[in-house]
Structure 1
């Protein structure tokens, strides 16, 4: 009888639940956080980590006082554990795929200011045609959305492109124009025919990516041309919070024109100059090529790419002046 190899022994003895605990630890960054995510007691989480380390014969997490960090072996284990998790999640989908059904879950990572009729129409049609499929939309900064796609933790991302991680393909979904706005309590609300230097020195609120070399670098350049200075008194990664600060009168800030059209019509915001030659920002549909997708992921991605290819860019430019 041949001796069983170490990898074969690990495959035979390893419990998926131990990997599940390890994933929670790696993502939460603490035993307490992992225990909360898994609805387990902290000693149970620590014991599971110990058993996993014994199984693989290596220390996976450095948990010295005040320190919680993956070891080199832990980083490798995290990559493989994510692949195992993805395979398990696809298992039921593969069974239904064999029966000709389009089922499965699609996780879409979204920047907070995605307003795109083309995307909404494709998503609605997809779910209407395939009632066995489900979708979750998770709002986050564009950098995080891209990282999730690159790590195979999100099916798709719709976001700005501050950088393009290796292994991620991006298609231009739409282009939006950014204007500058203030709220009702701001001294410039309702002002017309402002002098070119009227915005110089005004307090600014903006997005965290409003800086040179980042996703909203063109907005940064516009502020500099207007003499608005470098100091941003309030910032957020989410459009809703930037809009909140502008409406509250904290400062002048940039927002996509087509997103705030109703706010302008209802008098909650006031657009400030300039009105032409405004910064334009591209929003992309991002995905990882070669990924083994469940039927729902594959179908939705195919529909989105087909809609982009069939729609001229001129019809995907929003808020142009």
Structure 2
């Protein structure tokens, strides 16, 4: 006797309650052409396979397979069910590869704490490609002194920064982003402007312009050590935490002062700055990516810092150099 046909309400319940294992068992029965073959393939007993088929037929209200002594025939209803189950099984089987191919959308806000005038193609490349990949992410760059970046990261006010660092900071992790060299310069009004073969001793009594972090315990301590070592006796007559303002004071003739060579290069070519000894430079001063490994990164910040550090790690020293971009006209 065939199973009773369910009414419309039963079909509605069926779409929610049907056991996928019953459908899969039925598919294997048809593929194997027998209850015995299906049991062997599924590693279950023949009675369990027969029971699964019976339960499916009862749920659908249709006989799916005519079976008896020496007889095994898939009914018209069974053909319909089999074809649909094969489609469903194929879709389920593809889920893994489909999910792997999907790029998870990253949203959120990236805040970068950074000292002024950091010029590096590496950072520019990561900013560009990261925005192209995750256009929904917003970005904010806060410019501040290196010491303020250090404090913000230690206090977990920020997640990561790009700045100068004199020595390792407890609790923070770092990676060198840019290797740069500081040199001494003067402006057009200085008495040594345009003069060649200058002796370092000629500078020792000149007024000096520098950075507020140009202290023995500051991020630019190599500059302070240089002045102390060479016996510079002039006054520090101008100072700023902002590189652009230090440059302005040097150009305007307040005193001689240090600048990264890649920043000063365009002004030298334009006749606004003149390089002074020592011609090998004062000191190398690296720019670091600094972050708190215990900081509370959002997904966007984590993705950005991973990408930026990933582009730097393993890169040779000679490739971690500033980008030489033309200065914009004032």
- The answer (yes or no) to whether the contact 1:175–1:282 under 8 Å persists in 2 is yes
Find the structure with the greater CA-based Rg. 2
Of 194, 200, 205, which residue of structure 1 is paired with 2:204?
200
**How far, CA to CA, are the matches of 1:277 and 1:263 in structure 2?**
17
Q: CA deviation at 1:295?
A: 1.8
Match of 2:220 in 1: 216
Relative to structure 1, the CA distance from residue 221 to residue 163 in structure 2 (aligned partners, 3 Å threshold; closer, same or farther) is closer
CA separation of 1:155 and 1:216: change in aligned 2, threshold 3 A: same
- Cross-structure match for 2:242: 238
Q: How does 1:53-132 map to 2 (within 5 A)?
A: 100-132=104-136
Moved over 6 A (4+): none
The residue aligned with 2:158 is: 154
Shift of 1:291: 3.0
2:289 is paired with a residue whose SS is: strand
Counterparts of 1:146 and 1:213, CA distance in 2: 13
Counterpart CA distance in 2 for 1:155 and 1:263 is 35
Distance in 2 of aligned mates of 1:196 and 1:203: 14
**SS of residue in 1 equivalent to 2:247:** helix
Question: What SS is found at the alignment partner of 2:179?
Answer: strand
Deviation string, structure 1 residues 185-224 (Cα, Å, up to 9, x no partner) = 1111111111231101000010011122322121122223
Q: CA deviation at 1:249?
A: 0.2
**Structure 1 residue 288: deviation in Å?**
1.2
Name the residue aligned to 1:3. Answer: none
- SS at 1:173's partner residue? strand
In 1, Cα distance between the equivalents of 2:227 and 2:294? Answer: 41
Contact 2:184 2:282 in 1 (8 A): no
Separation in structure 2 between the aligned mates of residue 284 and residue 195 of structure 1, nearest angstrom: 33
Contact map agreement 2:110 2:138 (CA 8 A) in 1: yes
- The total of aligned residue pairs comes to 222
Distance 1:107 1:318 in 2: 22
Secondary structure at the counterpart of residue 100 of structure 1: coil
In 2, Cα distance between the equivalents of 1:219 and 1:145?
20
Q: State how far apart, in whole Å, the 1-side matches of 2:131 and 2:159 are.
A: 16
Cα distance in 1 for partners of 2:322, 2:224 equals 20
Q: Secondary structure at the match of 2:275?
A: strand
Report the counterpart of residue 185 of structure 2 in structure 1.
181
Deviation at 1:226, TM superposition (A): 3.6
Q: Quote how far apart the aligned CAs of 1:164 are.
A: 4.6
Deviation at 1:131, TM superposition (A): 0.5
Q: Is the 8 A contact 1:103 1:294 kept in 2?
A: no
Equivalence for 1:37: none
Once the two structures are overlaid, the 10-residue window that deviates more, 274-283 or 222-231, is 222-231
Gaps of 5+ in 2: 1-102, 324-330
Check 1:183–1:115 CA distance in 2 against 1; reply closer, same or farther (3 A cut).
Answer: same
Structure 1 residue runs without a partner (length 5+): 1-98
1:136 partnered with 2:140? yes
**1:172 — aligned with what?**
176
User: TM-score, normalising length from structure 2?
Assistant: 0.63
Q: TM-score, normalised by structure 1?
A: 0.65
